Structure 1
Amino acid sequence: MTTAPATTQAYRVTPARVLRSEAHKLRTLRSTWITLGSAAALVLSVGIIMGATYTSDGGDSDVDTVILVLFGSTLGTLCTVVLGILVTAGEYSTGMIRASLAAVPTRLPVLWAKAAVFTVTVFTVMAGAALITFATAQLFLDDTDQATSLTEPAVLGAVLGNAAGTTFLSLIALGLGALIRSVPGAIGAFIGGVMVLPEVLTMLPYDAVETAVRYFPTQAAGVLGSSTPLPDAAPVGGALLALVLWCAATLGSAALLLRRRDA
């Protein structure tokens, strides 16, 4: 029985090596640190402002505490969405994707590795930012009707759910980047299809459309970041399932075209 030469074994493509390669690329890109740093800074700064300026008689007492404190995650999500698009479409614009696919001829492991590394990175950073922001804002809210703690029912889940919602939306953006292969095009598709389209559809006087819009990505992500049930919103389980399906559909379409189109 013959065995492969040691040199062949040393350079054999494995899932672990593809993951390590994508992690190295994400870590060494300047855009990664700029976008993630900006996202975390926006979440923290807006959270501190909301906590420092809040008054019990200001009319916001009925707002969910987690939503109030982590309001800056809306802006932070825009940063991570751009990063998701740069991770995939950015490689097409620079031509680096050709080297990646030449090293991994089966192609699909490259996409799965990008998605996995990106998901872990974004969730870790945004979860850390959300936890720090919540704790810091509560220092200002201690004597108000918005005072609470992570040990209260559903609060910790909502804080982590906020980070999860951001991660899901950013993963959809990554899929759009791989699908469209253009940074401006993918950004436009995300803004138009994910952010603007649901708002337009809510203007239609049809109950079925209103119900369907609840399961669109941005609406479903908002449900995960609330510690109390939102009116006229999808249940948490349904929202989570919807986000998983949106990500699967986007990445699945990108994977299909990756197999069929040239780089």
Structure 2
Amino acid sequence: MTTLAVTPVRVLHAEWHKLWTLRSTWFNLALIPVLTLGTGIAIGSAYESGDATELDTVLLVLLGMQFSQIIVGVLGILSTAEEHSTGLIRSTMAAVPARLPVLWSKAAILGTVGFLTALATNLVTFPLVQTFLTGTDKEASLGDPGVLRALVGNAAGLALIAVLAVGIGALIRSVPTSVGVLIGVVMILPEVLRMLPYDIVDDAVRYFPGKALETLTHADPAPGMTSPGSALLALFLWTAAVLTAAAFFLKRRDV
């Protein structure tokens, strides 16, 4: 009987197959365009000039990303933590003794799927919602300065949050706890810290994952905001740090 060698391509293929056999994958990915488009249409159809002058046009249209970042995060967590909860991880690691190729494959797949899903959603949502915003102070087109960059930046940010969640799930190994940590770090903690009367804390909060994603979704960042490049770098560093920690403990802990 011939035994096939474990290669990165075969591990990637196995993780790809595993992802798409889960009903939760299809359900979560379907929610991204449904909620993003639905929220955008609801806001656009009710919007009148002056209602939200402080909001960037792209951010206004893509306010549904508040749901999307949770959805891609949950999907990333399920790809790792759920395997530990069910015990399937033992079979996976028995097939791939090196362990780390499994983590890298999950991260690569979730990042790619998250980016492509979010980008396709953004490119459909923005022009469609703009049909409701024609004649308002939020009217814009894909060719306007910064718009396309913001749409792509939003997709890249959501992809990084998906990979960040893969790392959190691999570290904590519990789906409920991992989801709680993700929501706390991405959405709740920055708002709590901003209440502190210290400029240095306020400056640091801008580089938290959720705030970095918000910056990436601006076609025209407001004065005092960090640049899109800095926001993308901050989000990348958060993701790299968590994924590195997950890799470290994956090699040293029992499955």
Superposition TM-score, scaled by structure 1 size: 0.93
4+ residue segments displaced more than 4 Å: none
1:125-136 matches, within 5 Å, as 125-136=117-128
Give the partner amino acid of 1:7.
T
Matched, 1:32 2:25: yes
CA distance in 1, matches of 2:249, 2:176: 19
CA distance in 2, matches of 1:237, 1:162: 12
SS of residue paired to 1:243: helix
What is the identity percentage for the equivalent residue pairs of Structure 1 and Structure 2?
52
Q: Unaligned regions of 5+ residues in structure 2, if any? A: none
2:240 to 243, 248, 253: 248
Matched, 1:155 2:147: yes
2:165 to 173, 186, 200: 173
| Deviation (angstroms), 1:192 | 2.2
| Deviation (angstroms), 1:51 | 1.4
| Deviation (angstroms), 1:139 | 1.4
Deviates more, 1:134-143 or 1:28-37: 134-143
2:79 to 87, 91, 109: 87
CA distance in 1, matches of 2:61, 2:31: 17
1:48 to 25, 41, 45: 41
Structure with larger Rg: 1
The aligned residue for residue 3 of structure 1 is none
CA distance in 1, matches of 2:243, 2:103: 8
| Deviation (angstroms), 1:62 | 4.1
CA distance in 2, matches of 1:61, 1:147: 12
| Deviation (angstroms), 1:169 | 1.8
The aligned residue for residue 103 of structure 2 is 111
CA distance in 2, matches of 1:62, 1:240: 22
| Deviation (angstroms), 1:165 | 1.6
SS of residue paired to 1:153: coil
Alignment size in residue pairs: 255
CA distance in 1, matches of 2:191, 2:137: 32
| Deviation (angstroms), 1:143 | 2.5
The aligned residue for residue 7 of structure 1 is 2
What CA deviation, in whole Å up to 9, does each residue of 1:5-36 have, x standing for no partner? Answer: x924xx11111111111111111110001111
Give the partner amino acid of 2:113.
T
* Preserved CA contact (<8 Å) 2:70 2:183: no
What CA deviation, in whole Å up to 9, does each residue of 1:141-173 have, x standing for no partner? Answer: 223222211111110010111112222222211
Give the partner amino acid of 2:145.
P
